[in-house]
Amino acid sequence: MPEEIVGRVLRLVGYTAYRWEFQESSLSLTIWVRQASSRPFYTCSGCGIGSERIHSVRERRVRDLPWGAWKVHLVIEVHRVYCRRCGVCVERIEFVEGKHPYTRRFAAAVARDCEDAAVRRVAVKWGLSSQTVKRIDKRSLLAWAQRRRRRPLRQMGVDELFWGKGKCLTVVSDLLAGEPIWAGPERKKATLDRFFVEYLLARRRRAVKAVCVDMWQPFLDSLRQHLPKAAIVFDKFHVMRHVNAAVDETRREEFFRQSPHLRAAMRGKRWLLLTRWHNLSPPKRTQLKAALALNRRLFKAYYLKEQIERLWSYTYERAALRFLDEWVKSLRWQRLPAFQNLALTLLTHLDGILAYCRHKVPFGVVEAINGNLRSLIRRGRGYRDHEYLILKAQRSTAQARLALAA
Ligand SMILES: [Zn+2]
Q: Determine the distance separating the centroid of ligand 1 and the alpha carbon of 225, expressed in angstroms.
A: 47
- Residue 124: closest CA among 135, 113, 138, 112: 113
Give the DSSP per-residue string, 116-173.
TS-HHHHHHHHT--HHHHHHHHHHHHHHHHHHSPPPP--EEEEEEEEETTTEEEEEEE
Q: How far is the centre of ligand 1, averaged over its atoms, from the C-alpha of 52 (Å)? A: 12
What is the predicted pLDDT for the residue at 331? 86
Ligand 1 centre distance from Cα of residue 44 (Å): 5
CA of 82 to the centre of ligand 1 (A): 8
List for the chain the helix, strand, coil content (%; round to 5).
50, 20, 25
CA of 54 to the centre of ligand 1 (A): 13
Ligand 1 centroid – CA 260 distance (Å) = 88
Residue-level pLDDT at 39: 84
**Distance from residue 35's CA to the centre of ligand 1 (Å):** 20
Residue 86 alpha carbon to ligand 1 centre in Å: 4
What distance in angstroms lies between residue 55's CA and the mean position of ligand 1's atoms? 13
The answer to whether 291 and 283 are in contact (CB under 8 A) is: no
Cα 43 to averaged position of ligand 1 atoms, centre (Å): 8
- Dump pLDDT digits (tens) for 335-356: 888 889 999 999 999 899 999 9
State how far the Cα of 339 lies from the Cα of 328, in Å rounded to an integer: 9
Q: What is the pLDDT along the chain (406 residues), one digit of tens a residue?
A: 588 888 888 899 889 899 999 999 999 999 999 988 888 889 999 898 988 889 999 999 999 999 999 999 999 989 999 999 989 999 999 899 888 999 999 999 999 999 888 889 999 999 999 999 999 999 999 999 999 888 899 999 999 888 777 788 899 999 999 999 999 988 999 999 999 999 998 889 999 999 999 888 999 999 999 999 999 999 998 899 999 999 889 888 887 777 777 777 777 777 887 888 888 888 888 888 887 777 888 888 888 998 898 889 999 999 999 999 999 998 888 888 888 999 999 999 989 999 998 999 898 888 889 888 888 888 776 578 889 999 999 998 888 888 888 7
Percentage of residues in the chain having pLDDT higher than 90: 47
Determine the distance separating the centroid of ligand 1 and the alpha carbon of 20, expressed in angstroms: 32
Tell me the backbone φ, ψ of residue 153, rounded to 5 degrees. Answer: -85, 115
Check residue 383 and give its pLDDT: 72
Distance 84 CA to ligand 1 centre (A): 6
The Å distance, Cα 36 to ligand 1 centre, comes to: 23
CA distance 195 to 208: 14
For strand 210-213 and strand 231-234, is the pairing parallel, antiparallel, or unpaired?
Answer: parallel
Work out the number of other CB atoms within 10 angstroms of the CB of residue 186: 12
Q: How far is the CA of 80 from the centre of ligand 1 (A)?
A: 11
Q: Which residues surround ligand 1, an ion (CB under 5 A)?
A: 44, 46-47, 83, 85-86, 89
pLDDT in tens, 269-283: 778 878 888 888 888
Question: What digits encode the pLDDT tens for the residues 27-67?
Answer: 999 999 998 888 888 999 989 898 888 999 999 999 999 99
Q: In what order do the strands lie in the sheet with 167-174?
A: 179-185, 167-174, 155-163, 210-213, 231-234
> How many whole angstroms from 93 Cα to the centroid of ligand 1?
14
What's the 11 CA to ligand 1 centre distance in angstroms?
Answer: 27
How far apart are the C-alpha atoms of 354 and 356, rounded to whole Å?
Answer: 5
158 with 175: CB under 8 angstroms? Answer: no
Beta carbons of 345 and 351 less than 8 angstroms apart: no
CA of 81 to the centre of ligand 1 (A): 9
| Cα 78 to ligand 1 centre (Å) | 15
Q: What pLDDT is attached to residue 381?
A: 60
| C-alpha 37 – ligand 1 centre gap (Å) | 22
Q: Following DSSP, what letter does each residue of 328-350 receive, concatenated?
A: HHTTTTS--HHHHHHHHHHHHTH
Q: How far is the CA of 47 from the centre of ligand 1 (A)?
A: 4
Distance from Cα 83 to the centre of ligand 1, integer Å: 5
Distance from the alpha carbon of residue 24 to the mean position of ligand 1, in angstroms: 42
Cα(79) to centroid(ligand 1), Å: 13
